[in-house]
Amino acid sequence: MRKITVAAIQMSIPETREKSIEKAERLVREAAAKGANIVLLPELFETKYFCQERRYEHYDLAMPLLENPAIKRFSEVSRELGIVLPISFYERDVSNFYNSIAMIDNGEILGVYRKTHIPDDHFYQEKFYFTPGDTGFRVWETRFGKIGVGICWDQWFPEAARCMALQGAELLLYPTAIGSEPIIGCDSMPHWRRCMQGHAAANVLPVIAANRTGTESVTPDDGNAHQTSELTFFGSSFITDPTGEILESADRESDCVLLREFDLDEIRTERYEWGVFRDRRPEMYELIAGK
């Protein structure tokens, strides 16, 4: 038996970075008080979703890993509470900007993963802000199991989930910022969930997604915004079992903490018994790697 409790935090984002970090910390402490060993915050929770519009000034939001205030703060919180915290942040290295997460285990930064798949749409203009990640998919051996993290748009790619599973991931975490589609006009929430439920089902491991909530707007009156736009983030954070069934589910509006205990040894047995990894045929998959 190897029992762990994982939590997903859903929240709307306050006006300032300082207030966002304070709010996130309050929710992380609430999750830990309820027994969470691993706590997942949403993608880029330090700020409003700045990718709604293109502004060169937003590049200033990016910082080197060790200068980022959320990384500094949550390293301390992780050590104090003895928990695992994957922290999403806007990373600047020598010449590039990345959409990254740092895996923090008991105060120690185990490493960084940089978002591999970068979306681009009218109000999700991420290709303007983020260079596609160069780290490859990563899995970390933490004190509470082997954890893989994909960042938002990565969640739409079965390849990302599979690459993490093949490296031994026992849990897949997806920090997220997704909401309305003002141009296409669809509600992508069920599609979004089914995609990740599929990753859980195919890889026989739990999937945890933490999304933001709230409506965020920019108007031409805001500094140098070029057009009015508005996104409503749909929350709907969830935790699945290893067959993809949703065990814990948040609504579209609330700040909340979802928690679930898993026995990772029991799930490993279930994964072995199902036999899908035994029967893979890598030599038949070259098209996926572009060969």
Quote the least distance from Cβ 158 to its own copies, whole Å. Answer: 4
Which CB, 66 or 288, lies closer to its own copies?
288
Which CB, 37 or 203, lies closer to its own copies?
203
Contact in structure between 174 and 150 (CB atoms under 8 Å): yes
Any idea which residue has 């038996």 for tokens? 1
What residue type is assigned to position 104 of the chain?
Answer: I
Quote the least distance from Cβ 163 to its own copies, whole Å. Answer: 5
> Is 43 noted as a catalytic residue in this protein?
yes
Quote the least distance from Cβ 271 to its own copies, whole Å. Answer: 12
Q: Rounded to 10 degrees, what is the CA torsion of 56, 137, 71, 127?
A: 10
Residues forming contacts to its own copies in the complex (CB under 8 A) are 116-121, 132, 136-137, 153, 156-159, 161-163, 166-167, 184, 188, 190-191, 194-202, 243-245, 273-276, 278-291
Residue 271 CB coordination number (10 Å): 17
Which CB, 57 or 273, lies closer to its own copies?
273
> Is 256 noted as a catalytic residue in this protein?
no
Which CB, 154 or 216, lies closer to its own copies?
154
Residue 251 CB coordination number (10 Å): 12
Which CB, 3 or 191, lies closer to its own copies?
191
d(CA 264, CA 205): 9
Contact in structure between 271 and 277 (CB atoms under 8 Å): yes
Angle formed at CA 230 by CA 228 and CA 44, multiple of 5 degrees: 120
Contact in structure between 10 and 258 (CB atoms under 8 Å): yes
Quote the least distance from Cβ 240 to its own copies, whole Å. Answer: 9
Work out the end-to-end distance of the chain between its first and last CA atoms, rounded to an integer number of angstroms. 42
Quote the least distance from Cβ 109 to its own copies, whole Å. Answer: 23
Among 43, 46, 53, 91, which one carries the catalytic annotation? 43
Quote the least distance from Cβ 30 to its own copies, whole Å. Answer: 30
Distances 261 to 4, 16, 38 between C-alpha atoms, Å? 6, 33, 10
Which CB, 221 or 291, lies closer to its own copies?
291
Strand partners, 233: 179, 214
> Is 115 noted as a catalytic residue in this protein?
yes
Among 115, 126, 216, 248, which one carries the catalytic annotation? 115
Residue 106 CB coordination number (10 Å): 17
Q: Which residues are catalytic?
A: 43, 115, 152
